[in-house]
Structure 1
């Protein structure tokens, strides 16, 4: 293997590759076909028969952002993928429906730009879900509020973001003029990979075009009646910038179903977790118990009551997910709705 010069090929990945092996990064996946890129070539690739046979779960398969070991053929235009390198981070969500399957969004991401619009789409409860999933991935979240030119109370909404995502950087940008984009990009260092996630119509594709200074992604008009856009991006794709920063765009989401562990909620709601340490009872549910520091903070206007409800809802959702993974759907329903349900509920 020729040592790759790409700055995103960190030592973490280098140590996993033998000298005679070819390695490249997955830059696109669409209709069962992978696109790989190394320093000099782009390959159209498929999985080897053995790889496909040994893969069981969705996370076993390569995702956009992954590094893979491959064998080129047909004059270095096509390739067979033989092995997936261990990941640094993995951004996933639960697949839609009543099942318990993971859907991988992208991998090996350093920072995730959570894109939301400062218009009717703005929703701090939804934002909390995105922040939760990013922390679960191992990446760091950054909130990007687009369409600042259409908002009359930008500072007030950014203040709401800061309360709903403590410690998470938040930027208001105008993707049409570029206002605020330079400060946003200061969050990223050369060699890092960022991913953009958010609902459809919030301006992810327009932001990508502004960052790359090129019309690489198609954009569509947003309906004025409900501020909703149609899915512009239909697949996941990795783009590279001249300053050695890499960007993964993803399709817009109508709904983000969480994937992860219940304990991961602590990172998103660090303010509530800190207050919980001062509650009179260690197992305080933050409802009507005497000496509840969280309820005291709500009464003092320090925390929004909706944030506490969101905290409890996400914990219940992830708790149920863990039970389903451990016991299956039928047993989980009996645990949560049967005569001993209080034993398993939060």
Structure 2
């Protein structure tokens, strides 16, 4: 897919009815696990788009109106997508689904990431989600007597990853080297989609954690929410800070269009496939609207950023790949923008102390 080859639906023709926004949710029993993965990912990206737009409006006086116009549609799309999450999940079962989405999407991104350094960052973040899934699965069994495999449907292993205790890093050790301005478009899309999905996971845990009466559950959500904030810091630090606001906005809209396209390509439920296709067309309309602003204000051709041909993000089980990563990299730790084994870090700290 070349994003510039598809015009989508013009912004002024985009509209939803309340009935469309609050439609029939998916089913835990009848829909495949990756339908839920797609839903969680896209809900996160829509909410991240709203967050980005609100912040931009505080600093971009001339762009306040187009930001508000697109943000209204993003809000309605976020409602449509978020309301697709099945009502037959308990909050803790939804948490299991969030961790599955984090693992499978991050693994898929890692496998097609063209930059070795960025792929390493994604692999190391992926390993921490395994410990989250492992601990939440134990909590689900203890509090509700349920097996997390009934949610995961055999696509994602429940095994310890890098211990969460090793994820509590100093802020300087959560920062990564940002990509260059001329990085591949796919790398820019990856950083945006992972940052958006991790932000949604963090916000969900912060909102749902205090609703539990069980003290262990409250402690677990608090701890993992803290790690999720570190993940957002890590992934957002990969984004080139030298980009202009309009450049970042254009990449944001391209990310949403690309991800909806990927969802539509792999969705087996015809009703949901139609939703992904409609939202893709709307996001392409947003992207072209922002591209016009990009040309108007920066006198640059959007093809500088968006001319690459993209293959869809795969929504399939990454179990074998993840097992190899677990076997070979679970001991890696972050410090000063790089990764080292736990033993090497320990030796370095002992040498520094001496």
TM score, norm. by length of structure 1: 0.27
Tell me which structure has the larger Cα radius of gyration: 1
Question: 1 or 2, which has the higher strand percentage?
Answer: 1
Query: Taking CA–CA contacts closer than 8 Å with sequence separation of 6 or more, which of the two structures ends up with the larger relative contact order?
Result: 2
TM score, norm. by length of structure 2: 0.26
Question: 1 or 2, which has the higher helix percentage?
Answer: 2
